[in-house]
Amino acid sequence: MTRRLGAVSYLNSRPLVEGLDTPGGPFEVRFDLPSRCAALLHDGAIDLGLIPSIEYLARDTYVAVPGVSVASEGPVASVALFSRMPLDRVRRVALDTSSRTSATLLRILFADWFQAQPVFETAPPNLDAMLATHDAALLIGDPALFTDHEARGLSKIDLGEQWLAFTGLPFVWALWVGRAGAVDDSVCTALGRARDLGVAAIPRIASDYSRGDTHTARLVETYLRTNIRYGLDDRHEQALQRFYASASRLGLVQTARELRFFGRERQVATP
């Protein structure tokens, strides 16, 4: 039986799909922006999606694959607020439409820790256009990673770094999610194996991505090895529940709920 997988098209997901799209294999893989990947899962167009972590709350039938995620502990480099002024003077913020997780996290950071209460407005991820009408702009993925903020005279506030500073926890940006019963243990095992193969293949992934540019290859390899983590352990689960509880408290989601995983009944209590 062929399983339909939807993966995020950004660089940071590449180590998680190593070997999964082999022709004739058990998986059919498509790549989309995070928001589109989530929409495909919500519509039943894929069996399992590597979706933004906040989208787990969209359906009470969703279950996550254990042990695998796109996470960070400290600076993530590819999710950042680019600002023309100090945070306490920011009044209007443009939010990248590509992912609800990053936008939700930024709202939490402003509400709980930053000394400002700006107006948030969604916008396509074009930094120049965003900053033409806003004081600051949230970018995610490759555009955020490769933006030279210093050359533009901007400050770059890394959301992963801020979350760790305030909570002492890692942050989970995306995880494999599907409806209960959508996949079995063999699929979860295959996804864990793909992660291990992908992490081992990071030098090649960086080389392929850079197309011979050694400077870019070094940047990409450092990013994939240092900024991004691919596991999902107890601390990641606690971080997810902290994130969900904060989003629920601020009315950014309808409700928080317990994490459920394929192949095990264990749940993490909401703090």
Task: Give percent of the chain with pLDDT exceeding 90.
Answer: 89
pLDDT value for 158: 98
Average pLDDT over residues 15-33: 91
Residues spanned by CATH 3.40.190.10 within the chain? 3-70+172-217+230-249, 79-167
> In sequence order, what are the beta bridge partners of 122?
95
pLDDT value for 24: 82
CB of 50 closer than 8 Å to CB of 7? yes
Query: If we measure between CA atoms, which residue out of 226, 221, 222, 229 comes closest to residue 203?
Result: 221
Average pLDDT over residues 245-258: 94
Q: At what angle do helices 100-112 and 34-42 cross, to 10 degrees?
A: 110
pLDDT value for 264: 67
pLDDT value for 261: 96
Six-digit token string for 194 = 């793909």
Question: What CATH architecture is 3-70+172-217+230-249?
Answer: 3-Layer(aba) Sandwich (3.40)
pLDDT value for 1: 80
CA distance 35 to 197: 26
pTM of the full predicted structure? 0.93
pLDDT of 198 higher than 70: yes
pLDDT value for 23: 84
CB of 264 closer than 8 Å to CB of 66? yes
pLDDT of 218 higher than 70: yes
pLDDT of 265 higher than 50: no
Q: What is the mean pLDDT of the chain?
A: 94
Question: How many angstroms separate the Cα of 203 from the Cα of each of 68, 69, 142, 159, 262?
Answer: 20, 20, 18, 26, 31
Q: Is residue 186 classed exposed, middle or buried when 0-12, 13-18 and 19+ CB atoms within 10 A define those classes?
A: exposed
Instruction: Dump pLDDT digits (tens) for 130-181.
Output: 999 999 999 999 999 999 999 999 999 999 999 999 999 999 999 999 999 9
79-167 — its CATH code? Answer: 3.40.190.10
- Consecutive H or E run containing 28: strand 27-32
Q: Binning pLDDT at 50, 70 and 90, where does residue 266 land?
A: very low
Return the beta strands (E) in 97-235 as ranges. Answer: 119-123, 136-140, 155-158, 171-179
CB of 159 closer than 8 Å to CB of 80? yes
pLDDT value for 263: 87
pLDDT value for 145: 95
pLDDT value for 115: 81
pLDDT of 4 higher than 80: yes
Instruction: Dump pLDDT digits (tens) for 74-86.
Output: 999 999 999 999 9
CA distance 40 to 93: 28
User: If you count them, how many residues does the chain have?
Assistant: 271
pLDDT of 106 higher than 50: yes
CA distance 53 to 61: 15
CB of 28 closer than 8 Å to CB of 48? no
Instruction: Dump pLDDT digits (tens) for 114-138.
Output: 988 999 999 999 999 999 999 999 9
Query: If we measure between CA atoms, which residue out of 253, 259, 262, 254 comes closest to residue 271?
Result: 259
CA distance 116 to 103: 16
